[in-house]
Structure 1
Amino acid sequence: MDIGALILMGGKNSRMGGNNKGMLKYKEKTFLDCIIDIFDDFDNIYISVNNKIFDEYVGKYESKNIHIVKDIYEEVGPMGGIHSVLKCCKEKYLFVIACDMPLMSKEFVKAFCDKFERDADLFMTCNERGKLMPLGAIYSKDLLSDMEILIKNKKYKLIELIPNNKFKKIDLKELGFTDRVYHNINTPEDYKELIKSNI
């Protein structure tokens, strides 16, 4: 497969009171382990981490097909993690997800990747309101030079990549899914609601 999987773990977790969201438990597994499981068909899984937690994850998670990658640029959000992994990954493309999205499913990832057209540098879904989903999307190595320019200019939003690159989108309805798969857990209240709902 020419698409690798990237799990972003380098956030500050400030809205979660500093607790590492990837280590929260959901159905007896950590969020991180839930997400690793959905990528078991991928040849390589990359986990992007910041300098503070790098040593912890190398020892615990690194294996033959799981690679821990330290951020080159600190404090620039998802853009920094994606850039760091695109620089070193074996594949041309990465399916990128955040560690706080435990409801993402293997079925969705397969359906989305099956629809991906290789002439796109950036491939996202949009929901019924037209909102784009920048995580749970595919990014190409061809974005690297533009990413470096944006980071240098302190423009860290992923949608900043759209105007100057080959961008394509697909409606979630066409894939047969709702934006539930994109639900992310940002706060203790979000987490309590997830556990309570048992979805």
Structure 2
Amino acid sequence: MEKSQEITAYVLCGGKSVRMQAEKGLVLYRGKPFIRWIIEAIMPITSNIILVTSNGDYSLVGLPMIEDSYEDKGPVGGIYTALKHSKTVRNLILSCDIPKITTELLRNLCDESEEIEASVTFLCDAKNDYPLIGVYNKSALQTFADAISSNKLKLCPLVNMISHQKICINSDQKSLVQNINSKAELQSLNLLDL
């Protein structure tokens, strides 16, 4: 399949990284920063990749970076920034703490997002939703603007309130979408790979 220029990928590299005590996207996993694993998974789908961050350390990956439009508004603010910046209708939005994500999973998500007209298409499993592994339609911009102005910054209730579709992953794929938020989680991830 050819790369799609009809989708822009944004990796949200904000966040306080309190539990990790280090910039999450730059934490090493198997010798490479998380951000590189994520970029490598995106590249076969689109080369139009932008990082949402104000941290200049991410310049090591050589991709365009944009700063959050609003500070301290969490993922809702990051998604708003991405949608406002985007020139494409569909936008792949990912967090920076999912180093095991695969091209196959992302391609399936992108393909499914083309099938149904929804403001957002995101992954889920039997228990959890993963709205930070999703395709967001530019039409959702106003919803995110309104959420910020009313300080409603919880992402799951917001995406469940607008038109959405969930793509369920199987139990074998669950490790691919795991957020690595702490040193303990990173250690257990490294141990699993031994």
SS at structure 2 position matched to 1:101: coil
TM-score norm. by structure 2 comes to 0.89
Distance 1:160 1:183 in 2: 20
The answer to whether the Cα contact below 8 Å between 1:7 and 1:99 also exists between their aligned partners in 2 is yes
- Which aligned pairs between 1:52-131 and structure 2 lie closer than 5 A? 53=55, 55-57=56-58, 59-62=59-62, 66-116=63-113, 117-129=115-127, 131=128
Check whether the contact 1:44–1:67 (CA below 8 A) recurs between aligned residues. no
Corresponding residue of 1:37: 40
Given candidates 165, 174, 179, the residue that maps to 1:179 is 174
Matched letter for residue 133 of structure 2: G
User: How far 1:60 moved relative to its partner?
Assistant: 3.2
Corresponding residue to 2:188 among 165, 190, 193: 193
Deviates more, 1:164-173 or 1:87-96: 164-173
Could you give the per-residue CA deviations for residues 123-162 of structure 1, whole angstroms, max 9, x where no partner exists?
Answer: 1222123x32111111111111111111111111122333
* Residue of structure 2 in register with 1:20 after alignment: 23
Moved over 4 A (4+): none
The answer to whether structure 1 residue 6 and structure 2 residue 3 are counterparts is: no
Alignment CA distance shift 1:177-1:83 (3 Å)? farther
Aligned partners of 1:191, 1:122: CA distance in 2, in Å? 29
Partner of 1:133: 130
Give aligned-pair identity as a percent.
29
Match of 1:142 in 2: 139
CA offset digits 1:99-133 (Å, max 9, x no partner): 1110111111112212223511111222123x321
Partner SS for 2:52: strand
- The verdict on how the C-alpha distance between 1:115 and 1:28 changes in structure 2, with shifts beyond 3 A counting, is same
Counterpart residue number, 1:170? 167
In the alignment, the residues of structure 2 paired with residue 43 and residue 90 of structure 1 have an alpha-carbon distance, to the nearest angstrom, of 14
Are the counterparts in 2 of residues 185 and 191 from structure 1 also a CA contact under 8 Å?
Answer: yes
CA deviation string 1:68-120 (max 9, x = no partner): 11001111111111111111122212111111110111111112212223511
Deviation at 1:177, TM superposition (A): 5.3
Q: Distance in 2 between matches of 1:97 and 1:90?
A: 17
Q: Which runs of no fewer than 5 residues in structure 2 stay unpaired?
A: none
Which stretches in structure 1 are left out of the alignment for 5+ residues? none
TM-score, normalised with respect to structure 1: 0.86
Partner SS for 1:14? coil
User: 1:89–1:177: structure 2 CA closer, same or farther, 3 Å change rule?
Assistant: farther
